[in-house]
Amino acid sequence: MRQVIIFDCDGTLVDSETIGVGVLAEVAAEGGATFSPTAALEHLRGLKMTECVERIEELCGVKLSEDFVPQVRLRMAEAFRLRLQPMAGARELLASLTTPFCVASSGPRAKIELSLSLTGLAPLVDGRIFSSYEVGSWKPEPGIFLHAAAAMGVAPSACTVVEDSEPGVRAGLAAGMRVLAYGDFVGNVAQRHGVPHVRTHRELADVLR
């Protein structure tokens, strides 16, 4: 059976999570909502932007302004252009794979494409990008992964999902796919959901091959 690997983008292929939560914290603080980057990583990782806003308002007891999201998007793009890097080993891993792969993210397509372009990964992905904003389904719902599988021409059971957040892990499992939890922040998530935990792209390469 033909197999496909589905990668998340933020925190899996590109090292964007720390930059992103730093921007969220900075813009939120200007609106009176103060929280630490550590708290942001714990509470906001893997959430779509509207859920981030709701969670920040809930945690900080404030109502953010209507221009909060546009400001975050603008400053995040600026920060990415200055500092964004691929995850260590990501470029080498993608270049070495013989199994077809794609990227499926809860982020907007423009953000995904910018991130992959800035980090030099875009040519390796070659347009095989799927965004939740284009299918109207966000993780932990399985819709984006099911859409990616259909677009790649395989059954869900033929897919391996690589994710760095609990919503992503849950979405992959709900889609009936094999799931690998990647990175330093998902050890507990992997244990809770009974999926393998890989900490580096070198480990990930060994598992995927």
Pick the CATH number of 17-83 from 1.10.150.240, 3.50.30.60, 3.40.50.2300, 3.90.380.10: 1.10.150.240
| 4-15+84-208 against 17-83: fold identical | no
Taking the model in full, what pTM does it have?
Answer: 0.90
Each residue of 110-157: pLDDT tens digit? 999 999 999 999 999 999 999 999 999 999 999 999 999 999 999 999
Query: For residue 94, what are its two tokens?
Result: 């993608």
Each residue of 62-116: pLDDT tens digit? 999 999 999 999 999 999 999 999 999 999 999 999 999 999 999 999 999 999 9
Angle at 16 between CA 207 and CA 191, to 5 degrees: 40
**Rounded Cα gap, residues 62 and 66, in angstroms:** 13
Q: Which CATH class is domain 4-15+84-208?
A: alpha beta
**Domain ranges within the chain, ordered by starting residue:** 4-15+84-208, 17-83
Least confident of 20-34, 144-158, 188-202: 20-34
DSSP per position, 158-180 = GEEEEESSHHHHHHHHHTT-EEE
